[in-house]
Amino acid sequence: MRTPARTTVTALAFATAAAVTTAAGPASADVGDFTRTVIAEDAVGPAFTAVGDLVGDARPELVSTRYGKLTMQGPSALPEPGSVTLYENAGRKRGGGVDRWTTTPVVEPSDGIIFPSEPTLADVDRDGDTDIIQPAGYFWDSGMGFSRGSLTWWENRDNPRSVRELLALTTCPRTSRGVAQLKKCLAELREWKRHDVITDSPFSYHDLQFVDFDGDGRKDIVTVGEQGFNPSDTTDDVVELQFLKGDGKGGFAPPVALADGGGSSPVVTDVDGDGDLDIASAQYFGVSPVVVGPPTGEASFVWFERVGTAADGVTASDFEKHEISRGQGPSFSLHRVDNLFGDGEDRWVGVNHTNTTAGNPGPPVFLRAEPDVFLLTPGADPRAPWSVAPLASTVDPGAEFTASPRPGQAAPGKTGFGDIDGDGDLDLAVSGDGAFRLYWIEQTAPGVFAQHVLPESEGWGQAGGAKIADLDHDGNSDLVFSSFEINKVGIWSHTR
């Protein structure tokens, strides 16, 4: 979605953006086994949505980013600062539905964050509540002479849960003169507090992993910085895998470059089972759309094996890059899924990001990879290429990933995993992205999947989210998507 696609960001200029609404009025329709509820209409460029407990009431909240308004400067689309909003369910705590939400701004346009992308929800300062780590940046800024990429984290102070936060609140009665000052003091202490990790960077940041990467007991950041220059040149992009050492208190060291390449959404895991942490990812930039003939460019999916130790610090010399698979074309994401088939084994699922629609600019259609979701299976030696096959064995008529022919569009996009239909196994929620609709891939038997279009999702293009959770504790799964194309955030609730 958006940033991973070379030309998708250019196409964003064609999307219209209306004023932000702080109250969410529901618009629902019952279709088949799902009920759709639109919780935000006319939002300005909805991008990504995360789900987690941020207020301590045991129900998940939504954290939704908005890219904001794009303005044309000559042939270029230039973004204005975006925003991040917290959605809190205002219904009953159990079975209260998903049609009433209160909103709290976390990041506002005045904060100057450009293109806020995938938020990571985590307790950064280890005080017991959930904070927000926000990567941001516009891929094409470097080509226009800007350096506006950033990594920030936003401290959750809404409900004091630590001794430090409680002591801070006790200062207000001592320092305030009158009720008005007391209310202002308390409100300021409870607002989300900004902490800068990286600002004014030529790199744009799309996603990250918050994990103890060097084994010192304190969590770090592993991410990928990206810079785009000439939109018509597929070889001039700068992509850098980076490590930022954390101090366990919310501070981070400057980024260390670990490798050239990688993808927007790195996965930190022990790929080869040798007891240390490696990095795997899908790659978009540098991957040739032509998949017929001799191999050219970068592989679609790769992993970086840790061959050194962190004893002298984590550096580029500690990693060796291996190809997982090539031939799937530019790709969006790679996922290690726990117990996907219900047999206790982890499986790898890859998502490419291509367009074989006639009329779409680029090489002849027959030279390109079909857009799809794949099962990737390592052999006895994970350093050798893995086997690859489409995940879905059946696809409903008309439910293929068919991207729009409009320039810059590709499919599929964001993917989430969970038990959508309540039958006890894992299914997938998938954004069509450039296909301008949403999908769910149902596991009908262990390891057997069928692909469907999510009802009432036509037009929901360039959609983030793909999150699966029971948002109202009614026992049914809810699917969350936020669509840049139509400026809406919506929830699809399974009804049986």
Per-residue pLDDT, 18: 32
The two structure tokens encoding residue 303:
């992993």
pLDDT at 164: 67
**383: exposed, middle or buried (C-beta count within 10 Å: 0-12, 13-18, 19+)?**
middle
Whole-angstrom Cα Rg for the chain: 22
Instruction: Please name the amino acid found at residue 459.
Output: G
> What pLDDT is stored for residue 190 in this prediction?
61
CA dist., res. 460 & res. 25, Å (int): 18
Answer with the residue of higher pLDDT: 232 or 330: 330
- Residues 244-257 have pLDDT tens digits of 999 999 999 999 99
pLDDT for the residue numbered 167: 73
- pLDDT tens for residues 152-175? 999 999 766 566 667 766 777 888
Residue 158 contacts residue 169 (beta carbons within 8 Å): no
For residues 398 and 454, what is the distance between their CA atoms, to the nearest angstrom?
Answer: 12
CA dist., res. 110 & res. 273, Å (int): 46
pLDDT at 72: 77
Over 50: is that where the pLDDT of 308 sits?
Answer: yes
pTM to 2 decimal places: 0.90
Return all residues near 197 (Cβ < 8 A) that are at least 6 apart: 150, 151, 152, 153, 221, 244, 252
- Residue 31 Cα to chain centre, angstroms: 27
Res. 2 pLDDT band, cuts 50 70 90: very low
> Residue 55 corresponds to which tokens in the numbers above?
């207020």
- Per DSSP, the residues of 415-429 read EEEE-SSSSSS-EEE
pLDDT on residue 9: 39
Phi first, then psi: give them for residue 173, nearest 5 degrees.
-60, -30
Helix (H, G, I), strand (E, B) or coil at 111: helix
To the nearest whole number, what is the mean pLDDT of the chain? 90
The C-alpha atoms of residue 90 and residue 64 are separated, in whole angstroms, by 17
- pLDDT value, residue 63: 98
Q: Are 241 and 209 in contact, with CB atoms under 8 Å apart?
A: no
pLDDT at 16: 33
DSSP structure string for 148-195? -EEEEEEE--SS--SHHHHHHHHHHHHH--SHHHHHHHHHHHHSPEEE
362 or 19, which is more confident?
362
User: What's the pLDDT tens digit per position in 216-268?
Assistant: 999 999 999 999 988 777 778 999 999 999 999 999 999 999 999 999 999 99
Q: Is the pLDDT of residue 126 over 90?
A: yes
Residue pLDDT, tens place only, 358-411: 988 889 999 999 999 999 999 999 999 999 999 999 999 999 999 999 988 999
Lowest mean per-residue pLDDT among 39-43, 182-186, 327-331: 182-186
State both tokens at 385: 């290429």
pLDDT band for position 325 (cuts 50, 70, 90): very high
**Residue 331 predicted with pLDDT over 60:** yes
Residue 180: pLDDT band by 50, 70, 90 thresholds?
A: confident
Say what percent of the chain tops pLDDT 90.
79
**pLDDT at residue 186 above 90?**
no
| pLDDT tens readout for residues 58-101 | 899 999 999 998 887 777 788 999 999 999 999 998 889 999 99
**Residue range 423-459, pLDDT digits in tens:** 999 999 999 999 999 999 999 999 999 999 999 999 9
Residue 388's nearest CA partner among 412, 372, 365 is: 372
**Rounded Cα distance, 198 and 362, in Å:** 35
Predicted local distance difference test score (pLDDT) of residue 230: 83
Query: CB atoms < 10 A from the CB of 419, how many?
Result: 15
pLDDT in tens, 454-485: 999 999 999 999 999 999 999 999 999 999 99
* Beta-strand runs (E) in 291-356: 301-306, 319-325, 331-337, 347-352
| Among 88-97, 129-138, 180-189, 223-232, the range of highest mean pLDDT | 129-138
Percent with pLDDT over 70 in the chain: 90
Collapse the DSSP code of 317 into the 3-class scheme (helix H, G, I; strand E, B; otherwise coil) and give the result: helix
Residue 174's pLDDT is what? Answer: 80
Provide the pLDDT for residue 19: 30
Cβ 437 vs Cβ 454: under 8 Å: yes
